Amino acid sequence: MGRPVVIGNWKMNATIHQAGLLASAIRNSVSDVNGVQVVLCPPFVSVQEVSNSLQGSGLKVGAQNMHHQEKGAFTGEVSAEMLKGLVTHVILGHSERRRDFNETDDLVSLKAQMALIAGFQPIICVGESLSERQEGRAEEVISTSIKSSLSGIGPGSDFVVAYEPVWAIGTGEAATGSQAQDMCQLLRDCIAVVFDRETASRTSILYGGSVGPDNAAEFVSMRDIDGALVGGASLDAEQFASIVRTTALERVSSSV
């Protein structure tokens, strides 16, 4: 079982001012919760503001993306070096980046290598589309995707993996707990193949896709699901805090 982790992916939402307020509200709402690593991932322009709001708390800040090269003529991009001191995590290979910016597993692998060099924990996202699932190819797609995305990462690295089926993101149609468990177990087995069983069991594997206060327990009560990657519900401090609390109840109490 990996460490319990709940991550808020704010996507392209909130101004800098709103981001600071939201981070403070979340910080206050989860101040009584122990044992769950909470990571907030605002847009780049708000990373500094959110980092300021979370100073002195156990909450961490993550970026939503990052370029794989050190520096250079890459208009509009942000490097690992620029994020140093501001973030501890970076989301890589989110399906929206794969879909809208043609990011491939090979690129995700390069980004993950750069993130680790910078000392960040990559949060590597994989997920099948609806048609891939309907064609019975979900397992094959996920296995190939995670193995390629992890290729090039050295043994002993710390990373997080998120299973986010494309059809469940922002649709209100979450996977069932058992669908998510099956895929997260498969991901753990793939990590064991790429590295070893010890790495597989200590890696945090999260489910993402229409997670909210009402269904969080269904996921985090599953053996191979260590937490959640939350989109829409992470923009509401109370809803997000409720997911964090549920994760603490299900996973922290069960591991002591």
Q: Within positions 157 to 196, which residues make up the interface with ligand 13P, using CB under 6 A?
A: 164, 169-170
Residues in contact with ligand 13P, shown as a per-residue x/- string from 101 to 130 under the rule CB under 6 A: ------------------------------
Residue with Cβ nearer ligand 13P (98 or 188):
98
Q: Is residue 9 a contact residue for ligand 13P (CB under 6 A)?
A: yes
> What residues from 59 to 98 belong to the interface with ligand 13P (CB under 6 A)?
94
Taking CB atoms, the residue at the shortest distance from ligand 13P is: 231
Q: Any contact of residue 229 with ligand 13P (CB under 6 A)?
A: yes
When asked if residue 232 is in the footprint of ligand 13P (CB under 6 A), the reply is: yes
User: C-beta of 206: minimal distance to ligand 13P in Å?
Assistant: 9
Quick one: which of 231, 241, 244, 248 contacts ligand 13P (CB under 6 A)? 231
- Asked whether the beta carbons of 115 and 104 are under 8 A apart, the reply is no
For residue 151 the two structure tokens come to: 């290729």
Give, in order, the Cα–Cα distances in Å from 61 to each of 54, 65, 146, 176: 8, 12, 24, 29
2/93 with CB nearer ligand 13P? 93
H runs (alpha helix) in 42-176: 47-54, 80-83, 95-101, 105-117, 130-134, 138-150
119 vs 217: CA distance, rounded Å: 31
Closest separation in Å from C-beta 211 to ligand 13P: 5
Q: Which amino acid is at 101?
A: F
Contact 177, 219 (CB under 8 A): yes
**199 vs 206, beta carbon nearer ligand 13P:** 206
Query: Is 60:88 a contact under the CB 8 Å cutoff?
Result: yes
Q: How big is the site for ligand 13P, counted in residues (CB under 6 A)?
A: 14
- In the shown chain, the binding pattern of residues 206 to 225 toward ligand 13P, with x for contact by CB under 6 A and - for none, equals --xxxx--------------
Rounded to whole angstroms, the Cα distance separating 73 from 51 reads: 27
Residue 17 CB, nearest approach to ligand 13P (Å) = 22
> Tokens 């090269």 belong to which residue?
69
Question: Quick one: how many helices (H) and strands (E) in the chain?
Answer: 12, 8
Residues within the interface to ligand 13P (CB under 6 A): 9, 94, 164, 169-170, 208-211, 229-233
